[in-house]
Structure 1
Amino acid sequence: MAASPDDLFRDVTKNCSGLISRIALSYEADPALRRELVQDIMLAIWLALPSYRGEASLKAFSASIAQKRCISHVTKRAREPKPLELPPDLISPALAPDEIALQNDMRKQLIASIQQLPLPQREAMVLSLEGFSYAEMAVMLGISANAVMLRCQRAKAALKLLIEKKS
């Protein structure tokens, strides 16, 4: 009676693990990638064991699969782009974490201060911060452009006082 794939795999694991590791070592120097390669080889052996007919030794069968997997691995790795070393003096275009935190604090302080403004000044300031012109805000608020400008000036002065008090 022929051995089951489970029995054959136990035999491969027990008797051929060193061979498979050495074959993988001859193709892959990186320890982490080599461990992955060994796992890939073991999976390939597991998947191929049902077709094992005993024409060659189990060791030769396993070594053949290991060789083919290693060649596939090297071929695949050769097609991957090589990682580039970043220069140590590379400056990130993003703000530093402490600058981001400072900006967030300032934004929160501005929002809290705007919420303390009287409603007419608050409306004008929010629209102004959104980039609307005095003419556009005048249409939205139903008042003249001069009245909008006056509200914005008063809001800015009030915000300046509120923020100075908190600082």
Structure 2
Amino acid sequence: MRADDLGRDQGFEALVAEHGPMLRRIAGSYEANPEVRRELEQDILLAVWRALPRFRGDAPVRAFLARVAHNRAVTHVSREAAAPRRSPLDEALPSGEPTPHDRVEAEDLRERLAAAVRALPLSLRQPASLTLEGFSPAEIGQMLGMNANTVSIRLTRARAELRALMNPEASR
């Protein structure tokens, strides 16, 4: 192993330590199946590893990583859409670990939000998931190649759709 490879490995590990949770959340906004989501997370990390030498510093590294992750996730979604459908696992299988009630409720809310984000059209999903990661409309516009006003309009539409998806009784 060369010395510059070692430095690259340490730099990559530092980036993953700092931005890994964001990359996992982005993967989760595109994939519901936990096993497939873990594979997507690995694909995203590989894509980040491969893309890092091309990082020029034009944007914050966080934005660069999010863009790589979203691009990889969009490719994943298009491949999954073309793949044959799988049958789901039986929900009645017993769990190996019991969880406290509050944790279940919090997880349910996160899952419902992730499912609602996945249900959005791609044009709304991208700005919505990036907003959930704390990016501003201007930063999102730069990442997605559109102006901040367009991003803001899409975010307004995404919020309205998310409200309806998260609380269907209120929209009746």
TM score, norm. by length of structure 1: 0.46
Q: Which has the higher contact order (CA 8 A, sep 6+)?
A: 2
The structure with more radius of gyration: 1
TM score, norm. by length of structure 2: 0.45
